[in-house]
Amino acid sequence: MKDRIFYRRGPNHRNDDVNFIDIRRRFNFRSIELGKWVTHAEKAKAANLFYDALSDLMCILSAPEDLVSLRGSLALQYGKGGQRYVSAHYDPSTRSFALAKNAGPGSIAHEWFHAFDHYICSKLYDENEVSRHQFASSYWLEDGDYKAHPINHRLVQCFQTILLSEDGEEPSDVFKQSVLVDKKMNTKYFSQPEEICARAFEAFIQDQPIKNEFLVKGTKESDEAKLGLYPQGQHRVRINYAFKDYFQSLGQALYRESQR
């Protein structure tokens, strides 16, 4: 990654180079771990890229730093803790997301939403009814009764908009296409609700005026996009609106809380 250039268009978040200590301090991550094969030069470049990407994410979501680290519960790993043939992943058992040194860039938005989807599950539903590894999106599809609150209702609207048709009577087009791709590949991955929702979140982030290839890429021209695994057309527009409505409301609530 040392010589790779990542396209970015957005506000300036720093006056100088930063390091991973600066990232942890600003966003309050529970921990940040770097692989032993990450060189000093790669650490220096990656720190700036992560800082800008996470700052861009915060701006897009109209929310404070605490949301990025999920109130300090989320751990970040770079070039460490990866899985073979997997460029990035989120581990619910350790509440950490890991990016591979070379193949991981561009996956932050996807993996962050997995972390959020997992974190919010025990807040959206009765924590005594959900397992420690449950994702809110998949539990919603199982008809989980969520806690009545206007912000929770907006999140449920996101899930419904992503996973169901506009009339709510059948699976959405992206859900149907994900099932078809899984059948062709003889697997069950793309059609998992949490994966569909994470890809929808990627699309929402990539469609914003702030652009950051280190944060997200591939929702329009990648092989997965050509297979129809990302929302398209008016469905994508409706999803983007639902996400924007939810995260703006959540961000406002978090800012109000921080000022008390």
Q: Tell me, what amino acid is at 52? A: D
Q: 55: domain range?
A: 8-105
153 within domain boundaries: yes
Residue 1 domain flag: no
- Is residue 81 one of the residues assigned to a domain? yes
Distances (CA, A) of 239 to 98, 231, 249: 26, 8, 16
Q: What is the largest CA-CA distance in the chain?
A: 54
pLDDT for 143 = 79
Phi, psi of 88, deg, nearest 5: -160, 150
Q: Are residues 167 and 61 in the same domain?
A: no
* Strand partners for 90: 97
The reply to whether 69 falls in a domain is: yes
pLDDT digits (tens, 9 = 90+) for 2-27: 568 899 999 999 999 999 999 999 99
Q: In the beta sheet, which residues pair with residue 86?
A: 83
Residues 68 and 193 in one domain: no
Residue 129 forms beta bridges with which residues? Answer: none
The predicted structure's pLDDT at residue 43? 94
Confidence of residue 144 (pLDDT cuts 50, 70, 90): confident
Final residue of a domain: which of 105, 130, 151? 105
* Average pLDDT of the residues of the chain: 93
* Residue range 221-243: mean pLDDT, rounded: 97
CB 143: neighbour CB atoms within 10 A?
Answer: 6
**Which strands, in side-by-side order, build the sheet including 88-91?**
31-34, 75-78, 96-99, 88-91
Q: Are residues 78 and 207 in the same domain?
A: no
Angle at alpha carbon of residue 45, lines to 87 and 6, rounded to 5°: 65
**Could you tell me whether strands 88-91 and 31-34 are parallel, antiparallel, or unpaired per DSSP bridges?**
unpaired
Domain count, the chain: 2
Neighbours of 41 (CB within 10 A): 11
Confidence (pLDDT) at 237:
98
- Give the pLDDT score at 39: 92
Q: Is 209 exposed, middle or buried (0-12, 13-18, 19+ CB in 10 A)?
A: exposed
Whether 2 is covered by a domain: the verdict is no
Q: Does residue 177 sit in the same domain as residue 88?
A: no
Same domain, 195 and 86: no
Q: What is the pLDDT of residue 82?
A: 53
Q: What is the pLDDT of residues 89-115, one digit of tens each?
A: 999 999 999 998 877 789 999 999 999
**Average pLDDT rounded to a whole number, residues 118-143:** 92
Cβ pair 162, 174 in contact under 8 A: yes
DSSP 161-197: HHHB-TTSSSB-HHHHHHHHHHHHHT-SSTTSHHHHH
Q: What is the reported pLDDT for 145?
A: 87
SS (H, E, C) 114-167: HHHHHHHHHHHCCCCCCCCCCCHHHHHHCCCCCCCCHHHHHHHHHHHHHHECCC
Residues 141 and 99 in one domain: no
